[in-house]
């Protein structure tokens, strides 16, 4: 592709990776809106996006299964970039510099920063929990097989995990807007050299040395 061979651009995500990310993102947004509609009456009007309240209830869990499978693809592909390092702890301690755009005061970031890794591991914990608790409360198919006490715990856990995930994803989406040039990484697959050297210098150095495209 023209953009990818352009000398000032570096490829960050392959087309299959981007497709996988956006399938996860779209299904996640649909899940968040359909779930929140039932979570608090102030958001019940979100049911309009899904063809009414009953359709919202019916569709949500099926979308959930698609999201889970899609997310599993991302997790298998990217987990090894998300291992926590000593630099990450330091990065988190300097979160106030992160917020104030003072990146020069931060330890060197590799392919992902500590915030991104934290979101990754939060998703690893919550998405399977959402699947399991979602199946336990899924009517009419499965809920009838579980005792009411378990259903109560499952629905509470489902709502807690959904809350954590939705809050995390709000931050994730905002970060993509805040750090200019990030959206292109997931839309066109490329980032500028300036972007890479400023936000992910460790990763950038490896690319300069051995052309590591991962």
Partner 1 sequence: MSLQSLDITRRSATTTPPPQQRQQQEVAKLIDVTKCIGCKACQSACQEWNDLREEVGINEGSYQNPHDLTENSWTLMRFAEHEQNGTLEWLIRKDGCMHCADPGCLKACPSPGAIIQYSNGIVDFQEEHCIGCGYCVAGCPFDVPRISKKDSKAYKCTLCSDRVSVGLEPACIKACPTQALVFGSKEDMIDHANDRIADLKERGFDQAGLYDPAGVGGTHVMYVLHHADQPQLYNDLPKEPTISPTVGLWKGVLKPLATAAMLFTALAGFFHYVTIGPNDAEDNEEDHPA
Q: Calculate the alpha carbon distances from 92 to 6, 23, 89, 170, 201 in Å.
A: 34, 30, 5, 19, 17
The closest alpha carbon to 73, from 110, 122, 20, belongs to 20
CA distance 108 to 82: 15
- Whether the bond between 140 and the residue before it is cis, its omega within 30 degrees of 0, is yes
C-alpha span between 20 and 83 (Å, rounded): 21
- The span from the CA of 81 to the CA of 212, in Å, is 13
Clarify whether 80 is annotated catalytic.
Answer: no
Identify whether the C-beta of residue 37 lies closer than 8 Å to the C-beta of residue 56.
yes
Q: Looking only at residues 68 through 127 of this chain, which bind ligand HEM when binding is defined by CB under 6 A?
A: 68
199 binds partner 1 (CB under 8 A): yes
Residue 157 contacts ligand HEM per CB under 6 A: no
| Partner from partner 1, ligand HEM, none binding residue 132, C-beta < 5-8 Å depending on class | none
- For residue 101, the partner it binds in ligand HEM, partner 1, none, with Cβ less than 5 to 8 A by kind, is partner 1
Exposure string over 121-135, b if 16+ CB within 10 A, otherwise e = ebbeebbebbbebbb
**Residue of 123, 165, 185, 191 that binds ligand HEM (CB under 6 A):** 165
Q: One symbol per residue from 19 to 38: x for binding partner 1 (CB under 8 A), - otherwise; what is it? A: ------------------xx
Residue of 10, 25, 111, 134 that binds ligand HEM (CB under 6 A): 134
Q: What is the DSSP letter of 109?
A: P
> Is residue 32 part of the contact set for ligand HEM (CB under 6 A)?
yes
Name which of 10 and 157 has its Cβ closer to ligand HEM: 157
CB–CB of 151/143 below 8 Å?
A: yes
Task: Decide: is 154 part of the binding site for ligand HEM (CB under 6 A).
Answer: no
Contact stretch for ligand HEM (CB under 6 A) within 10-18, 34-42, 77-85, 192-200: 34-42
From the candidates 6, 21, 40, 172, which is the catalytic residue? 172
Q: Please give the residue ranges that form the binding site for ligand HEM (CB under 6 A).
A: 28, 31-32, 35-36, 38-39, 57, 60-61, 64-65, 67-68, 130-131, 134-135, 137-139, 158-159, 162, 165-166
Catalytic residue positions? 172
């Amino acid at each position: 592709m023209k953009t990818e061979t352009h000398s000032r651009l570096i490829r960050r995500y392959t087309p299959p990776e981007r497709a996988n990310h956006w399938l996860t993102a779209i299904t996640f947004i649909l899940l968040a809106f359909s779930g929140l509609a039932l979570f608090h009456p102030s958001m019940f009007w979100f049911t309009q996006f899904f063809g009414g309240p009953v359709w919202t209830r019916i569709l949500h869990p099926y979308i959930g299964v698609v999201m889970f499978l899609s997310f599993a693809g991302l997790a298998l592909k990217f987990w090894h970039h998300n291992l926590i390092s000593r630099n990450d702890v330091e990065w988190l301690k300097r979160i106030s510099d992160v917020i104030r755009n003072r990146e020069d005061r931060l330890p060197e970031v590799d392919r992902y920063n500590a915030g991104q890794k934290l979101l990754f591991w939060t998703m690893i914990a919550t998405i399977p929990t959402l699947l399991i608790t979602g199946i336990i409360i899924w009517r009419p198919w499965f809920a009838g097989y579980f005792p009411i006490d378990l259903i109560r715990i499952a629905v509470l856990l489902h709502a807690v995990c959904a809350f954590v995930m939705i809050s995390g994803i709000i931050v994730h989406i905002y970060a993509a807007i805040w750090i200019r040039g990030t959206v292109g990484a997931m839309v066109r697959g490329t980032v500028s050299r300036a972007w890479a050297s400023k936000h992910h210098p460790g990763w950038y150095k490896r690319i300069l040395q051995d052309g590591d495209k991962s």
